[in-house]
Amino acid sequence: MFIIKNTVTGLIHREPTRAPWKSKTYKSERAAKAGITRTLKYYQKAIDQVLEVRAEGKADYYAPMYNAYRDATDPALGRTYCDELATYEIMTMEQYGDPQRTDTGTCPYNGKTITRTIGINDAWTHMDPLCESHYTR
């Protein structure tokens, strides 16, 4: 199984057009390369739509893919790297391993200070004991 790794954050990349319930893995390296191509085309399409709307004299937010455009160009969001090829790297699940991170924080359930070690792809999701949604399921 192959994955696309975001070289900036170290997380496994999910294509912006892919359903959230679908897997982030690919059966072959060629399929993962196609995923990178789809991602880059998605952000380029968003940029082209905004430029087209600007040429008509309208505000940027009239473009259907305005939020994707902001992801790729707005420095305040901190994701201006997402439309660059060098951001993505293909590797196998074995090469990627299971990177961990350790954080200390206040548990939203009972207010106690806890330290937890969790995979970087599960941090701040419903799997994280420092996240409020962990206790509401």
Domain range for 109 is 100-135
What's the one-letter identity of residue 94?
E
**Residue 136 backbone phi and psi in degrees, to 5:** -100, 0
Among 50, 42, 48, residue whose Cα is nearest residue 15:
42
Q: Which helix (H) or strand (E) holds 107?
A: none
76 and 24 in one domain? yes
pLDDT of residue 136: 63
pLDDT of residue 133 exceeding 80, the answer is no
**Mean pLDDT confidence for 53-75:** 93
Pair 119, 82 in one domain: no
Q: What is the DSSP letter of 63?
A: S
Of residues 128, 92, 90, 122, the one with CA closest to residue 109: 128
Same domain, 23 and 65: yes
**21, 80: one domain:** yes
> Considering the entire predicted model, what is its pTM?
0.79
Q: Which helix or strand (DSSP H or E) is residue 92 part of?
A: strand 88-92
Residue 78 in this model has a pLDDT that exceeds 70: yes
How many domains, in total, are found in the chain?
2
